[in-house]
C-alpha cells in the first residue's frame, strides 16, 4: 500500500495493533514463567525493532528496560552475523545490557530469501539470580564479575538448534537453575508468539504497508515531540542531586545535569557528574538515555506512541569514567534500579524550570531492592528478589499515590501467599507507612512497611536510596520521610544502612520502610 494511504485512522490502528502484539507476547512470557519475579511481579519487557535497529513498537512495560533495549540490538548486530533460526542472548552491561540479572533475548525475523533481518524482536526479563557472590545477584560488590555471570552477545540458538553447551554453562553458574531455565524458555516462547503475529500481519496487509506505516508513525512521534519541546522555555537549565552512597563508604555521589532546550532538541549533559563509584551504583549510557527519554515522554500527550521518533529529539553527553559512563569492570547492579531513579529526579528538576507548574514533586526515588537466598530443609538452594514500592510525588493537580512503583520501574507486588509458599520466610506485616508522604497543599504519597522473619538462615542483601534525606517537595511542599531498614533480634532493634549485606538467623525479623513522596504546594 502506498505511504499516502496511511491515513491517521490506519496509523492509529497500526500503532495499537503492533503494541498489542508486544503486550500479548508479554502475557505469554508471564504465564509461561515459574519464578514469582516474572510471573507475579512482571519484571520483564517486550519490544519490536526494525531492520535498522530503530524502536518500532513496545508494550507498556518497564521504562528502564525499554529505553535501553536499543543498545542490546546494536550490540547483537555488531557482534553476530545472524542467520535464519538464530537467537541471541546477552546481559553484559558493557555490551548492550543493563545489569546482570536482566537477560535480554533478541530474535531476528527474516522474510523470504532475504539475508538481512527485517525485524528484531526483543524481550528483557529480570531473573531472580544470575550467580555471583550474593543470592539474588544484587549484592555489594566492587567488581562486575562478583555480581554474577557475564554474557556478551552470543547465540542461544544457531539455525534453530539450542546451544546446549551454553545452557549447561549458564545453569552451573546460577542458583535455582531449574527455575532460571524455565524462565529463559518462557522468554523464547514469547518471541516465537510475537513473530507469528508479525508474520501474519505482513501476510494480511503486505510488507509495503507495514514499512510505510512504520516510517510515518516514527515521524509522527518526532513531530509531536518537537511540538512539546516548542512549548517549553528555551535555554540551559541546571539541576543536581546526590545518591546517598555506594555501599562502601563513598558518598554522597553527585549527579549533575545541564539541560539545553532549543525548541527542536533536548541536550542532556551529565558530564559534571562525579567519577564512577567503587560500589555498584554506576549506570551505563543506555540507562541514562532511558531516563532522559522517559522524562521527556512524561511531558508529551499520553496517547503518543513511544518509539524511535522520540529518541531523535535527545542528544546525550556523558564523561568516560564517570558515574553515568563507567569503565568496565565497574559494578553496576544498582545503576539500573537506583541511579536510574535519581537520574529521573534530576531531569524532572531541570524540566520543572522549563515547564513551570507541570512537573510533580520527587517520588520515592528508589526501588528498595530486597534479595535473599539460602538452602531449604531438603538441601535445595533458592534465591528471591523483589522491589518494594514507595510514595509518588504530589503534583499540581492532586496528591501522590501511596505504595506504588514509580518512574523507571513498572512492576507489581509479590503476593504474600506466593512469597511464603515459595520461600522459607514468614511475612510479619505489609502495610502502608502512614503519614510518610510530604506535607503540602497536595500531600505526597505514603511509602510502605514490610517485615519478614527468617525460618532458615538467610543471606540477605538490601539496596536502597533516599535514606539520608527524603524525596524533596515542590512549589513549597515538604519532603517525604526517608526510608529506613531495621533488623530485630529478640527484644532489640538495630537500624541498618541503605545498602546492606547480612545474615538473618531463624526468628530474626527484617523490616523495610520505604520513602514517602514529596508534597506539592504550601499547606
Cα 80 to Cα 459: distance, rounded to the nearest angstrom: 38
Domain boundaries, the chain: 3-221, 360-523
Buried b (16+ CB within 10 A) or exposed e, 90-113: bbbbbbbbbbbbbbbbbbbbbeee
Determine if the pTM surpasses 0.75.
Answer: yes
* Number of other CB atoms surrounding residue 174 within 10 Å: 22
The answer to whether 75 and 146 have CB atoms below 8 angstroms apart is no
Cα 444 to Cα 429: distance, rounded to the nearest angstrom: 23
E strands in 286-364: 314-317
Cα 416 to Cα 212: distance, rounded to the nearest angstrom: 48
The answer to whether 11 and 172 have CB atoms below 8 angstroms apart is no
Does residue 6 carry a pLDDT above 90?
Answer: no
Burial of residue 163, with CB atoms counted within 10 A of its CB: 0-12 exposed, 13-18 middle, 19 or more buried: middle
pLDDT at 5: 63
pLDDT in tens, 67-87: 999 999 999 999 999 999 999
pLDDT in tens, 348-401: 999 999 999 999 999 999 999 999 999 998 989 999 999 999 999 999 999 999
Cα 49 to Cα 104: distance, rounded to the nearest angstrom: 14
* Rounded percentage of the chain residues whose pLDDT exceeds 70: 99
The answer to whether 363 and 438 have CB atoms below 8 angstroms apart is no
pLDDT in tens, 172-208: 999 999 999 999 999 999 999 999 999 999 999 999 9
Does residue 1 carry a pLDDT above 70?
Answer: no
Cα 329 to Cα 309: distance, rounded to the nearest angstrom: 33
Cα 21 to Cα 198: distance, rounded to the nearest angstrom: 8
Cα 421 to Cα 159: distance, rounded to the nearest angstrom: 40
Amino acid at each position: 500500500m502506498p505511504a499516502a494511504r496511511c491515513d491517521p485512522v490506519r496509523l492509529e490502528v497500526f500503532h495499537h495493533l503492533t503494541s498489542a502484539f508486544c503486550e500479548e507476547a508479554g502475557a505469554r512470557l508471564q504465564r509461561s514463567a515459574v519464578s514469582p519475579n516474572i510471573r507475579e511481579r512482571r519484571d520483564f519487557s517486550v519490544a519490536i525493532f526494525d531492520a535498522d535497529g530503530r524502536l518500532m513498537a513496545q508494550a507498556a512495560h518497564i521504562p528502564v528496560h525499554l529505553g535501553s533495549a536499543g543498545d542490546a540490538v546494536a550490540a547483537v548486530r555488531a557482534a553476530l552475523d545472524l542467520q535464519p533460526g538464530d537467537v541471541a542472548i546477552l546481559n553484559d552491561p558493557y555490551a548492550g545490557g543493563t545489569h546482570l540479572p536482566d537477560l535480554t533475548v533478541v530474535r531476528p525475523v527474516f522474510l523470504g530469501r532475504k539475508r538481512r533481518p527485517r525485524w528484531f524482536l526483543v524481550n528483557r526479563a529480570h531473573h531472580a539470580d544470575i550467580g555471583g557472590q550474593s543470592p539474588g545477584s544484587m549484592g555489594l560488590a566492587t567488581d562486575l564479575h562478583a555480581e554474577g555471570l557475564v554474557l556478551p552477545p552470543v547465540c542461544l540458538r544457531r539455525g534453530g538448534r539450542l546451544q546446549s553447551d551454553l545452557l549447561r554453562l549458564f545453569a552451573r553458574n546460577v542458583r535455582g537453575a531449574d527455575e532460571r531455565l524455565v524462565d529463559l524458555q518462557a522468554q523464547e516462547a514469547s518471541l516465537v508468539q510475537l513473530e507469528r503475529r508479525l508474520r501474519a500481519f505482513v501476510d494480511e496487509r503486505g510488507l509495503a504497508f507495514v514499512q510505510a506505516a512504520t516510517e510515518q508513525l516514527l515521524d509522527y512521534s518526532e513531530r509531536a515531540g518537537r511540538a512539546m519541546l516548542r512549548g517549553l522555555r528555551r535555554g540551559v537549565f541546571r539541576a543536581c542531586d546526590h545518591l546517598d552512597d555506594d555501599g562502601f563508604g563513598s558518598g554522597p555521589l553527585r549527579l549533575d545535569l545541564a539541560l539545553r532546550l532549543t525548541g527542536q532538541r533536548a541536550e542532556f549533559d551529565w558530564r559534571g557528574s562525579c567519577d564512577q563509584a567503587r560500589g555498584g551504583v554506576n549506570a551505563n549510557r543506555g540507562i541514562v538515555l532511558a531516563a532522559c527519554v522517559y522524562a521527556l515522554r512524561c511531558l508529551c500527550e499520553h496517547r503518543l506512541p513511544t518509539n524511535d521518533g522520540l529518541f531523535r529529539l535527545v542528544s546525550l553527553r556523558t564523561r568516560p569514567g564517570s558515574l553515568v559512563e563507567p569503565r568496565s569492570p565497574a559494578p553496576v547492579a544498582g545503576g539500573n534500579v537506583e541511579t536510574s531513579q535519581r537520574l529521573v529526579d534530576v531531569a524532572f528538576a531541570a524540566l520543572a524550570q522549563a515547564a513551570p507548574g507541570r512537573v510533580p514533586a520527587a517520588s520515592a526515588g528508589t526501588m528498595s531492592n530486597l534479595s535473599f537466598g539460602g538452602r531449604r530443609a531438603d538441601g535445595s538452594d533458592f534465591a528471591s528478589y523483589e522491589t518494594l514500592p514507595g510514595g509518588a510525588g504530589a503534583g499540581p493537580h492532586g496528591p501522590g499515590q501511596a505504595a506504588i512503583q514509580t518512574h523507571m520501574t513498572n512492576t507489581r507486588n509479590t503476593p504474600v501467599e506466593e512469597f511464603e509458599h515459595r520461600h522459607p520466610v514468614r511475612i510479619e506485616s505489609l502495610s502502608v507507612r502512614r503519614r510518610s508522604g510530604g506535607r503540602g497543599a497536595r500531600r505526597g504519597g505514603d511509602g510502605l512497611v514490610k517485615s519478614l522473619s527468617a525460618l532458615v538462615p538467610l543471606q540477605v542483601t538490601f539496596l536502597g536510596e533516599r535514606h539520608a534525606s527524603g524525596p524533596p517537595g515542590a512549589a513549597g511542599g515538604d519532603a517525604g520521610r526517608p526510608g529506613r531498614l531495621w533488623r530485630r533480634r529478640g527484644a532489640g532493634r538495630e537500624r541498618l544502612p541503605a545498602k546492606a549485606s547480612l545474615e538473618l538467623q531463624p526468628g530474626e525479623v527484617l523490616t523495610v520502610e520505604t520513602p514517602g513522596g514529596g508534597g506539592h504546594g504550601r499547606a
